[in-house]
Chains A and B, each alone.
Chain A
Amino acid sequence: MLKVFFGEMPQALYSTSLYFDNTYFDGWLDDEFAQKMIRSVDKATVLSGHAVESKALGIIPPTKLSGGLKTLLLIYNEPNKIFNASTCGDNCAKWLLKIPKVLDRDVTVNLRHIMDFGDGNFEINILNDDTVVHNMNELVQHAVKFIGE
């Protein structure tokens, strides 16, 4: 299940783009699920572990991927760490929900904003008050209390 801590979380890695640039491995881009995320979020195709062809920017190194996608790749490849997922836009939300399922384990992220997880049902454990919410209405009622704390 996706676990979310809303608001300030000192142990979460805040500058995910910088962290990605210095820690990613070429092999991360070989993964089929990672390639799906890259296609979906950045509209880009993986050419190799060193290069991605982006619709907007042409052929770029992985360090030029979007901040949101870098964070998704970090969460997917380093699920024991906690990352600031507010570097992800709403177009990353469905992938955040999928990562724990693909990895078949709980994954914890830090959010400093109310991400829109869409109109469907889901399961997210809000760690601030250890509540499981099942849709955006439930999520909003809990999350507004913790944003800004």
Chain B
Amino acid sequence: MPLSLLVSNMIGSHEILVRNNRVQYKFTVNRNITILRGDSASGKTTLIDMIADYSRDGAESGIVVRCDKKCVVLERGNWERDLKDYKDSIVFIDEGNSFVRSYGFADMIQNSDNYYVIATRDSLFNLPYSICEIYGIRNKSGNRYQGTKRIYSETYPLYNREILHGKPDKVIIEDSNAAYDFFRAVCGKEGIVCETACGKSNIYKCVQNANEERVLVIADGAAFGPEMERAMALKRVKNVVFFLPESFEWLILKSGLIDGNELQDMLKHPGDFIKSERYFSWERFFTALLVDQTKDSYMSYNKSSLNSVYLHEKNKDAILKTVNEEADAELFGR
């Protein structure tokens, strides 16, 4: 997979400005799925209504929308037919549209080259969205012009990185394959209990059932968005911390074990290379990239079972160094 072939139309980040004489929204969408939630009356519906008005009537609406991509609004009714017509666009969907929870919707957007901004408090378990792309809207400032107050709003991330102080007593790994093989070996040496959740939707059960004092969950942040709400809620009743890098494969790529300046440069801004039509979420891209970059070499990566070379002391230390750097803590000794 030559890196130069990964570039397509719908990639990277896109700045959006939406404005009338009373409100202005300025924000950036970074990935194929963005979720808007947060308090009532923060302006989610107003934003989407303004985009819908502009989409219908253009400049005659009196609304300004600035973006390098077409912004459209998808509504219930003929959403399937309408969605087929949208290409290379940023599609906004307001809350109250129950189709966003359907398998049909997930299927359709998986193979489209659009980005989606969805206002909902439902956890959309059919969609693999990132923990980094769940936002609230807040008022940043306001001013008065010709007697009218204009409010300036921005989006802000609802979840921030957590810091674990001290070593965990138990580690729960999202998957049951290569990542689990790796962390089970690491935990075994340190006398830490390591368990696989066999999928992200089981993590909350594992956390609830854990009897250990301090629990660390390691999961792929690139697709953990739907689980984030109940994960955070469990912090009320359990001493649990979530370490959510993009994915295990991303940690390996970032560790420097795989040579290549082009690769390291790409990892600084992967969104510019990840074609939304091809990769529903970023962790799938990182897996494909790692498999491709290591094929036919002694480092050959297989997601279903860890190549033991990654557990060789030097390689393991390089990955754990990246783990600790990303966690901003000494999660594991090296």
Contact = CB atoms under 8 A, between A and B. Distances in A.
B46 A113 contact: no
Nearest to B41: A66
A136 B38 CA distance: 18
Nearest to A56: B151
A144 B45 contact: no
A89 B76 contact: no
B261 interface: no
Interface string B30-53: 000000011111111110000000
B230 interface: yes
Contacts of B40: 41-42, 66-69, 87-89, 91-92
Interface of A: 14-18, 41-43, 56-58, 66-69, 86-92, 112-114, 136-137, 140-141, 143-144, 147-148
B122 to A, nearest CB: 4
A113 B122 contact: yes
B122 A66 contact: no
13 contacts: A17-B96, A56-B22, A67-B95, A68-B41, A89-B41, A92-B40, A113-B122, A114-B233, A137-B236, A140-B234, A144-B204, A144-B230, A148-B230
B42 to A, nearest CB: 7
B236 A66 contact: no
B96 A114 contact: no
B123 A148 contact: yes
Contact of A147 (B37, B123, B148, B151): B123
Contact of B98 (A14, A92, A114, A140): A14
B41 A87 contact: no
Question: Which 4 A-B pairs give the minimum distances between C-beta atoms?
Answer: A68-B40, A89-B39, A66-B41, A89-B40
A103 B220 CA distance: 46
Contacts of A147: 123, 229-230
A56 B23 contact: yes
A42 B43 CA distance: 10
A32 to B, nearest CB: 20
Given A56-B151, A89-B121, A141 B41 contact: no
A61 B135 CA distance: 28
Interface residues of B, number: 34
B121 A112 contact: yes
Contact of B233 (A41, A91, A143): A143
B308 interface: no
A142 B2 CA distance: 49
Contacts of B230: 114, 143-144, 147-148
Contacts of A87: 40, 95-96, 121
B264 interface: no
Given A56-B151, A69-B40, A89-B121, A18 B208 contact: no
Contacts of B120: 86
Interface string B7-28: 0000000000000001100000
B125 interface: yes
B236 A140 contact: yes
A8 to B, nearest CB: 9
Interface in B34-92: 37-46, 76
B223 to A, nearest CB: 15
A69 B41 contact: yes
A42 B234 contact: no
Contacts of B148: 58
A17 B123 CA distance: 19
A58 B22 contact: yes
B239 to A, nearest CB: 13
